[in-house]
Amino acid sequence: MTRARPMRADARRNYERLLTAAAEAFAEHGEGASLDDIAKRAGVGSGTLYRHFPTRQALLEAAYVDRVEAFAVRADELGARLPPGEALVAWLNELCVGTLQVRGMKALLGSAVTDGAGRAVPACATSVKDAAARLVEAAQREGTLRADVEPMEVLRLAHGLASAAELVGGDGGCGSIRRYVTLLTEGLRPAR
Protein backbone atom coordinates (compact mmCIF):
# COMPACT_ATOMS: atom_id res chain seq x y z
CA MET A 1 0.00 0.00 0.00
CA THR A 2 1.37 3.41 -0.91
CA ARG A 3 0.98 5.57 2.15
CA ALA A 4 -0.63 8.81 0.93
CA ARG A 5 1.13 11.92 2.09
CA PRO A 6 -1.56 14.48 2.97
CA MET A 7 -2.57 16.59 -0.02
CA ARG A 8 -2.18 20.30 -0.22
CA ALA A 9 -5.39 22.03 0.82
CA ASP A 10 -6.37 23.17 -2.68
CA ALA A 11 -5.53 19.79 -4.16
CA ARG A 12 -7.71 18.02 -1.62
CA ARG A 13 -10.57 20.46 -2.33
CA ASN A 14 -10.28 19.92 -6.08
CA TYR A 15 -10.16 16.18 -5.57
CA GLU A 16 -13.41 16.25 -3.61
CA ARG A 17 -15.10 18.53 -6.10
CA LEU A 18 -14.10 16.27 -8.95
CA LEU A 19 -15.58 13.27 -7.20
CA THR A 20 -18.89 15.05 -6.65
CA ALA A 21 -19.00 16.34 -10.20
CA ALA A 22 -18.08 12.91 -11.56
CA ALA A 23 -20.79 11.16 -9.57
CA GLU A 24 -23.32 13.64 -10.97
CA ALA A 25 -22.10 13.35 -14.53
CA PHE A 26 -21.89 9.55 -14.51
CA ALA A 27 -25.39 9.41 -13.07
CA GLU A 28 -26.67 11.63 -15.86
CA HIS A 29 -24.76 10.36 -18.85
CA GLY A 30 -23.45 6.98 -17.83
CA GLU A 31 -19.94 5.67 -18.07
CA GLY A 32 -19.10 7.78 -21.12
CA ALA A 33 -19.79 11.16 -19.53
CA SER A 34 -17.56 13.91 -20.89
CA LEU A 35 -14.43 14.35 -18.81
CA ASP A 36 -14.15 17.94 -19.91
CA ASP A 37 -17.65 18.54 -18.64
CA ILE A 38 -16.77 16.97 -15.31
CA ALA A 39 -13.77 19.28 -14.94
CA LYS A 40 -15.97 22.25 -15.80
CA ARG A 41 -18.65 21.24 -13.29
CA ALA A 42 -15.97 20.96 -10.65
CA GLY A 43 -14.65 24.40 -11.62
CA VAL A 44 -11.26 22.93 -12.34
CA GLY A 45 -8.86 22.88 -15.27
CA SER A 46 -8.92 19.71 -17.32
CA GLY A 47 -5.27 19.06 -16.49
CA THR A 48 -6.18 18.86 -12.82
CA LEU A 49 -8.63 16.09 -13.54
CA TYR A 50 -5.92 14.09 -15.28
CA ARG A 51 -3.47 14.75 -12.46
CA HIS A 52 -5.82 13.20 -9.93
CA PHE A 53 -7.36 10.54 -12.13
CA PRO A 54 -5.10 9.40 -14.97
CA THR A 55 -7.81 7.26 -16.57
CA ARG A 56 -11.56 7.36 -16.85
CA GLN A 57 -11.72 4.13 -14.95
CA ALA A 58 -9.73 5.56 -12.05
CA LEU A 59 -12.28 8.34 -11.76
CA LEU A 60 -15.21 6.00 -12.10
CA GLU A 61 -13.80 3.81 -9.40
CA ALA A 62 -13.07 6.65 -7.02
CA ALA A 63 -16.58 8.02 -7.50
CA TYR A 64 -18.17 4.66 -6.76
CA VAL A 65 -15.89 2.99 -4.17
CA ASP A 66 -18.41 3.52 -1.42
CA ARG A 67 -21.21 1.88 -3.33
CA VAL A 68 -19.00 -1.03 -4.27
CA GLU A 69 -17.93 -1.52 -0.68
CA ALA A 70 -21.59 -1.42 0.27
CA PHE A 71 -22.18 -4.50 -1.90
CA ALA A 72 -19.54 -6.34 0.08
CA VAL A 73 -21.04 -5.30 3.41
CA ARG A 74 -24.44 -6.31 2.20
CA ALA A 75 -23.18 -9.77 1.35
CA ASP A 76 -22.22 -10.37 4.95
CA GLU A 77 -25.49 -8.96 6.24
CA LEU A 78 -27.42 -11.38 4.08
CA GLY A 79 -25.05 -14.17 4.97
CA ALA A 80 -25.76 -13.61 8.65
CA ARG A 81 -29.52 -13.45 8.23
CA LEU A 82 -30.33 -16.17 5.71
CA PRO A 83 -29.37 -19.76 4.96
CA PRO A 84 -26.32 -19.67 2.66
CA GLY A 85 -28.10 -20.66 -0.54
CA GLU A 86 -30.81 -18.06 -0.07
CA ALA A 87 -28.28 -15.45 0.93
CA LEU A 88 -26.33 -15.97 -2.28
CA VAL A 89 -29.43 -15.70 -4.46
CA ALA A 90 -30.64 -12.62 -2.61
CA TRP A 91 -27.23 -11.00 -2.95
CA LEU A 92 -27.01 -11.75 -6.66
CA ASN A 93 -30.38 -10.10 -7.10
CA GLU A 94 -29.28 -6.98 -5.26
CA LEU A 95 -25.95 -6.90 -7.03
CA CYS A 96 -27.57 -7.06 -10.46
CA VAL A 97 -30.21 -4.49 -9.64
CA GLY A 98 -27.54 -2.16 -8.27
CA THR A 99 -25.48 -2.75 -11.37
CA LEU A 100 -28.32 -1.56 -13.54
CA GLN A 101 -29.60 1.23 -11.32
CA VAL A 102 -26.32 3.08 -10.95
CA ARG A 103 -25.20 4.18 -14.37
CA GLY A 104 -21.61 3.27 -15.11
CA MET A 105 -21.57 0.64 -12.37
CA LYS A 106 -21.82 -2.19 -14.86
CA ALA A 107 -18.62 -1.10 -16.56
CA LEU A 108 -16.83 -0.76 -13.24
CA LEU A 109 -17.89 -4.14 -11.87
CA GLY A 110 -17.14 -5.66 -15.25
CA SER A 111 -13.56 -4.46 -15.13
CA ALA A 112 -13.35 -5.75 -11.57
CA VAL A 113 -13.95 -9.32 -12.70
CA THR A 114 -11.94 -9.18 -15.90
CA ASP A 115 -8.61 -10.92 -16.02
CA GLY A 116 -7.29 -9.79 -19.35
CA ALA A 117 -3.52 -9.40 -19.42
CA GLY A 118 -3.18 -5.65 -19.78
CA ARG A 119 -6.33 -4.58 -17.99
CA ALA A 120 -6.31 -2.43 -14.87
CA VAL A 121 -8.24 -4.10 -12.09
CA PRO A 122 -9.84 -1.58 -9.75
CA ALA A 123 -8.72 -1.76 -6.14
CA CYS A 124 -12.28 -2.16 -4.91
CA ALA A 125 -12.46 -5.44 -6.81
CA THR A 126 -10.96 -7.38 -3.93
CA SER A 127 -13.70 -6.68 -1.44
CA VAL A 128 -16.44 -7.78 -3.85
CA LYS A 129 -14.56 -10.89 -4.79
CA ASP A 130 -13.94 -11.78 -1.17
CA ALA A 131 -17.56 -11.18 -0.28
CA ALA A 132 -18.68 -13.38 -3.16
CA ALA A 133 -16.22 -16.07 -2.10
CA ARG A 134 -17.65 -16.16 1.42
CA LEU A 135 -21.22 -16.59 0.15
CA VAL A 136 -20.24 -19.12 -2.49
CA GLU A 137 -18.23 -21.28 -0.13
CA ALA A 138 -20.93 -21.23 2.53
CA ALA A 139 -23.55 -22.33 0.03
CA GLN A 140 -21.28 -25.08 -1.21
CA ARG A 141 -20.72 -26.37 2.34
CA GLU A 142 -24.47 -26.32 2.78
CA GLY A 143 -24.82 -28.30 -0.41
CA THR A 144 -27.13 -25.87 -2.21
CA LEU A 145 -24.57 -24.76 -4.77
CA ARG A 146 -22.60 -26.84 -7.27
CA ALA A 147 -19.25 -27.70 -5.78
CA ASP A 148 -17.40 -26.88 -9.00
CA VAL A 149 -18.32 -23.20 -9.45
CA GLU A 150 -15.85 -20.54 -8.50
CA PRO A 151 -16.71 -17.16 -7.00
CA MET A 152 -15.33 -15.36 -10.06
CA GLU A 153 -17.57 -17.39 -12.31
CA VAL A 154 -20.56 -16.43 -10.23
CA LEU A 155 -19.60 -12.75 -10.42
CA ARG A 156 -19.09 -12.93 -14.17
CA LEU A 157 -22.42 -14.67 -14.60
CA ALA A 158 -24.06 -11.97 -12.50
CA HIS A 159 -22.56 -9.41 -14.85
CA GLY A 160 -23.96 -11.43 -17.73
CA LEU A 161 -27.44 -11.56 -16.21
CA ALA A 162 -27.37 -7.81 -15.75
CA SER A 163 -26.38 -7.42 -19.40
CA ALA A 164 -29.23 -9.70 -20.41
CA ALA A 165 -31.78 -7.87 -18.28
CA GLU A 166 -30.57 -4.55 -19.64
CA LEU A 167 -31.93 -5.53 -23.04
CA VAL A 168 -35.46 -5.58 -21.69
CA GLY A 169 -37.18 -2.24 -22.11
CA GLY A 170 -39.05 -0.34 -19.47
CA ASP A 171 -37.35 0.06 -16.11
CA GLY A 172 -33.88 -0.56 -17.45
CA GLY A 173 -34.14 -4.27 -16.82
CA CYS A 174 -34.47 -4.27 -13.02
CA GLY A 175 -37.84 -5.98 -13.25
CA SER A 176 -36.35 -8.92 -15.11
CA ILE A 177 -33.41 -9.54 -12.82
CA ARG A 178 -35.24 -11.82 -10.42
CA ARG A 179 -36.45 -13.94 -13.29
CA TYR A 180 -33.01 -14.28 -14.86
CA VAL A 181 -31.35 -15.08 -11.54
CA THR A 182 -33.96 -17.80 -11.04
CA LEU A 183 -33.33 -19.24 -14.49
CA LEU A 184 -29.61 -19.40 -13.78
CA THR A 185 -30.10 -20.92 -10.35
CA GLU A 186 -32.60 -23.54 -11.40
CA GLY A 187 -31.30 -24.07 -14.91
CA LEU A 188 -33.13 -24.21 -18.21
CA ARG A 189 -33.96 -27.88 -17.77
CA PRO A 190 -37.54 -28.55 -16.73
CA ALA A 191 -38.29 -28.87 -13.03
CA ARG A 192 -38.70 -32.51 -12.05
CA 114-116-122 angle, 5° bins: 50
For DNA, the closer CB: 32 or 83: 32
CB of 85 to DNA, least distance (A): 43
- Per CB under 7 A, the segment of 31-39, 95-103, 144-152, 176-184 that binds DNA is 31-39
Residues 103 to 132 in contact with a copy of itself, rule: CB under 8 A: 110, 113-117, 119
Per partner kind, with CB cut-offs from 5 to 8 A, the member of a copy of itself, DNA, none near residue 117 is a copy of itself
Does residue 186 interact with a copy of itself by CB under 8 A? yes
Per partner kind, with CB cut-offs from 5 to 8 A, the member of a copy of itself, DNA, none near residue 162 is a copy of itself
CB of 72 to a copy of itself, least distance (A): 19
- Show Cβ contacts of residue 34 under 8 Å, excluding neighbours closer than 6 positions: 25
Does residue 143 interact with DNA by CB under 7 A? no
- Give 66-70's long-range contacts (Cβ < 8 A, gap of 24+): 67/98, 67/102, 67/105, 68/108, 68/109, 68/112, 68/122, 68/124, 68/127, 68/128, 69/124, 69/127
Does residue 101 interact with a copy of itself by CB under 8 A? no
